[in-house]
Amino acid sequence: MQIFAWHRVVPDFDRMVRRVIPGLLTSTETFERQLAWLRENYEVVSLDEALEALAGGRRGERDLCVLTFDDGYLDFAEHAAPVLRRLGLPALVYVTSGVADSGLPLLHDRLYHLLRLALRRRIEAREGEVEPRVELALRRTLALRDPIVGLEWILKTQPRRVALQVAKWLERRLGERPEAALADSRLLGWEDLRGLDRELFSVGAHTVDHACLPNESPAEVERQLVESKREIEAQLGREVAHFAYPNGWYSPSVVRAVEKAGYRSATTTEDLPNHVGISPYRLRRRCVWEYASRGLWGFSLAVHACNFDGTLRSLGLSPWVSGERPDGLGDARPPQDSPAGETQTALSRA
Ligand SMILES: [Zn+2]
C-alpha cells in the first residue's frame, strides 16, 4: 500500500516556481496525468480503508494507494479538488489549525520569501541585535547562501520560537510585512474546509502551526497535537482521526504523544511502501511534485513510472531518508515569545 503526498497544485507552474518553494509545486496538467496513471495502476482508497487493509481486514484486486495533500493550501480547493472530483478519487488534506483564517502565511513560506530577499540584497546579521541563539541561526542560514538549504537547516535544527525570531528580524531589516508571502501562498480558511465535499475529502491534522515536533518541548508537543485536533473538530464538526508529522520528522516520544492525543494514524514522509503489520503511527509516504513526472520535454511516462512505482528506489538510485529524530532535542524554553495569532511554522521537505 502506497501513500502519495502533494503540497500544491497550480496552473502557472513556470511563474510560481520562481516565487515559492519549488519542491512543493505540481502543475495542474501534470497532476491530472499523475492521477490518471494512478487510477489505472492502483485501487485509490481512503486512508481509513487502507488502514483496514493494513490490519488484515480487507483485500483488493490491485495494490492500494492513498492520496494526501499537506499544509492546506487554497490551491487544493481551486485546482486539485476539481480534478479529484471529476475522477471520483478520495483524498485527505492535512491542515494546521492555527493558520486557517489567521491572515498570515505558513512560516516556511514566510522564511523562504525573506531568505530569498535577504540573499539578493546581501544583508548581514549585526552583532548583539537579537539573542545569541537567534543570531547564530541567522548567521548560519545566511551563510548557506541558498534559501532552500538555509530554510531546511533552520527547520531541522531550531525550535519554532527561534525560526520565528529569525523571520521577524529579517522583516525588520528588509522592511517586509509578515503577511507578504501570503500573496503567492494562500491557505484554505475554515469556510473553504467546510465547503469541501465530505464524501470524497477528509481532513487531518498537521499541528497548530506546523511545528517540527522533535524540536519542541514535551509540553509544546502535547499542545500542538491536542489543540489542533480539538480546533479542527470544533470548526468542521467531524472527527479528526489522522495526523501528518510536519516535515515528516518524529521521535519515539512524539509518536507516543500522537497516540495519546487520540489519533488513529500518523504519516511520515519516508519514501517506502506500507505493508501489513506496520505501525499506523509511522506510515510511509512518497512526496511527489512536478519533477517526479517531468523529463526533458515535459511530462515523461518513463520518469513518472520510475518515480511513482519506486523503481529508482529499488535500484538504490533514490535512497529513502528516515524521519526519525532522537528524543530530547526539544527546546527547553517554553515558546513564551509567540503572542496569540502569530502561529506559523515551516517546511521544505518535498
Ligand atoms: Zn507540512
State the distance from the centre of ligand 1 to the C-alpha of 113, rounded, in angstroms: 17
State residue 136's pLDDT score.
86
Tell me the pTM.
0.92
| Chain segment 274-329, per-residue pLDDT in tens | 999 999 999 999 999 999 999 988 999 999 999 999 888 888 887 788 999 998 77
Burial of 109 (0-12, 13-18, 19+ CB in 10 A): buried
- pLDDT(342) > 50: no
Tell me how many domains the chain contains: 2
Question: Does residue 86 sit in the same domain as residue 41?
Answer: yes
Residue 120: half-sphere exposure toward Cβ, Cα within 13 Å: 7
State residue 337's pLDDT score.
43
What pairs with residue 94 in β-bridges? 70, 204
Give the DSSP letter of residue 315.
T
| Chain segment 62-88, per-residue pLDDT in tens | 999 999 999 999 999 999 999 999 999
Closest CA to 72 of 248, 261, 244: 244
State residue 347's pLDDT score.
55
State the distance from the centre of ligand 1 to the C-alpha of 129, rounded, in angstroms: 31
State the distance from the centre of ligand 1 to the C-alpha of 143, rounded, in angstroms: 25
State the distance from the centre of ligand 1 to the C-alpha of 151, rounded, in angstroms: 14
Question: Does residue 142 sit in the same domain as residue 225?
Answer: no
The domain that holds 261 is classified in CATH as 3.20.20.370
* 218-223: average pLDDT: 97
Q: Which domain holds residue 23?
A: 2-103+186-348
State the distance from the centre of ligand 1 to the C-alpha of 111, rounded, in angstroms: 14
Q: Which residues have CB less than 5 Å away from ligand 1 (the ion)? A: 70-71, 246, 347
For 316, residues 6+ apart whose C-beta sits below 8 A from its C-beta are: none
Question: Does residue 201 sit in the same domain as residue 76?
Answer: yes
- pLDDT(270) > 60: yes
- pLDDT(130) > 50: yes
Give the DSSP letter of residue 184.
G
- pLDDT(349) > 80: no
Closest CA to 289 of 17, 72, 36: 17
Direct distance between the N- and C-terminal alpha carbons of the chain, in angstroms, rounded to an integer:
20
State the distance from the centre of ligand 1 to the C-alpha of 66, rounded, in angstroms: 17
Q: Strands, DSSP E only, in 28-160?
A: 43-44, 64-70, 91-95
Question: Does residue 195 sit in the same domain as residue 318?
Answer: yes
- pLDDT(344) > 50: no
* 325-345: average pLDDT: 54
- pLDDT(163) > 50: yes
State the distance from the centre of ligand 1 to the C-alpha of 350, rounded, in angstroms: 9
Give the DSSP letter of residue 150.
H
Which value, in Å, is the radius of gyration of the alpha carbons in the chain? Answer: 19
Q: Choose one of 182, 213, 239: the last residue of a domain.
A: 182
Q: Choose one of 138, 161, 182: the last residue of a domain.
A: 182
Closest CA to 23 of 103, 112, 87: 112
State the distance from the centre of ligand 1 to the C-alpha of 70, rounded, in angstroms: 5
